[in-house]
Amino acid sequence: MKTLFKHNLTNKSQKRKKMKSITCLKTPVLIMTILALALTSCKKDDLEKGRNDPSTLTQLTTDEATVEDISNEALQDVEGVLSYQGNGLKSTMEIPCNATIDSTSVINDTITIYITYDGLSCNGRRFRTGQVEIRKRVGTRWGMQGASVNVRYRNFSVTRVATGHTIVINSNKTFTNVTGGFIFMLGHNGFTTLTHRVEGTMEVTFGDNSARTWNVARQRTFTGTRGELILTTDGFGTSGSYDNLVVWGTNRNSEVFYTQIIQPVVYKAACDWNPVSGIKVHQIPEASKSATITFGFDSNYQPVTGDDCPTHYKVDWVNGTYTGSSFLPLR
């Protein structure tokens, strides 16, 4: 009896130890499972939060608008210099403020003109340094139909005075006078339309020192008369299945993007060259993101009417399954 009782006690003790061992094994496994589920849930929440965040799209919108504004301003300087004839500047644009037009150099059959910047732009909004180089063939007259020149931005640094934000552009573009003529001719002797095309590549360096390469294919059409000029822009670039592209490349987040002009974007001199109408679409296909930009809204986020100048534009964004809208100020 004693032996049997002892044997039973031993079996019970072994069972208790075994159960305790199993319990000990289950506890860390259970903890690890809970932690894994918690981490998965956090990652899912972070992913969902990221998809519900339009900041990369609004940043791209702001970057693209800023670069276009800077480029347009510099191209107006180029057009003004190319329109210079002898005793005066025959253009609505004046010689660039705080810039020098260096002596031209002639190498083989190419004439090179240098615009060197060091100071505020004429409107006082930007501080500019660096150089724009204009190259044209000997005998090329800018006013001729189809005339083209090569325009290169060399460390063209532009700082917005209001924010202190700086963008540096290095580029190589072809600037073509499609119709021929000059801006100052508009409204005279039946001359009603002046069309330019700009295409090429540029390296854009942002304030965070990230540098990205963009392609540009922009058509610029001037109409109206002196003091009431209107600029209409379209895109004519193609890449893969995308057409009507005005700019495409990689944004500051290393995402490939494509920007199309769906409805021509119109700028008015009377509105300080701000866009007053038109629609652009930014697409980042690999991340299932897009943003539709509609111009022409006032400070109450209502469409402008008549000759009123807008102050805002609308951004309708898509990020995965999330959508939203916001209004951003011009410049």
Pairing of the two strands 289-297 and 274-284: antiparallel
- Quote the pLDDT of residue 27: 57
- Indicate whether 120 and 259 sit together in one domain: yes
- Quote the pLDDT of residue 204: 95
- Indicate whether 101 and 206 sit together in one domain: yes
**Of the candidates 148, 142, 151, 75, the residue with the CA atom closest to the CA atom of residue 113:** 151
Summarize the confidence of residues 3-11 as an average pLDDT: 48
- Indicate whether 170 and 245 sit together in one domain: yes
- Indicate whether 29 and 82 sit together in one domain: no
- Indicate whether 22 and 71 sit together in one domain: no
- Indicate whether 138 and 221 sit together in one domain: yes
Domain span at residue 186 reads 60-329
Per the CB < 8 A criterion, the answer to whether 122 and 97 are in contact is yes
| Distance between CA atoms of residues 45 and 308, nearest Å | 44
3-state secondary structure of 302: coil
- Indicate whether 8 and 88 sit together in one domain: no
Give 221's contacts (C-beta < 8 A, 6+ positions apart).
193, 194, 195, 196, 231, 232, 233, 234
Q: How remote is the C-alpha of 169 from its chain's centroid? A: 12
- Indicate whether 145 and 215 sit together in one domain: yes
- Indicate whether 20 and 169 sit together in one domain: no
**Cα dihedral: 175, 177, 178, 179 (round 10):** 170
- Indicate whether 258 and 118 sit together in one domain: yes
User: In which band, very low, low, confident or very high, does the pLDDT at 227 lie, cut at 50, 70 and 90?
Assistant: confident
- Indicate whether 18 and 79 sit together in one domain: no
Q: Does the structure show a pLDDT above 70 at 87?
A: no
| Distance between CA atoms of residues 297 and 170, nearest Å | 33
Kindly report, residue by residue over 148-183, the tens digit of the pLDDT.
999 999 999 999 999 999 999 999 999 999 999 999
- Quote the pLDDT of residue 268: 95
Task: Give the total number of structural domains in the chain.
Answer: 2
Kindly report, residue by residue over 31-86, the tens digit of the pLDDT.
555 555 545 444 444 434 446 678 889 999 999 999 999 998 899 899 988 887 43
pTM: 0.80
Summarize the confidence of residues 294-309 as an average pLDDT: 96
Q: Does the structure show a pLDDT above 80 at 116?
A: yes
How far, in Å, are 82, 152, 155, 234, 287 from residue 175 at the CA level? 11, 10, 19, 15, 33
- Indicate whether 3 and 95 sit together in one domain: no
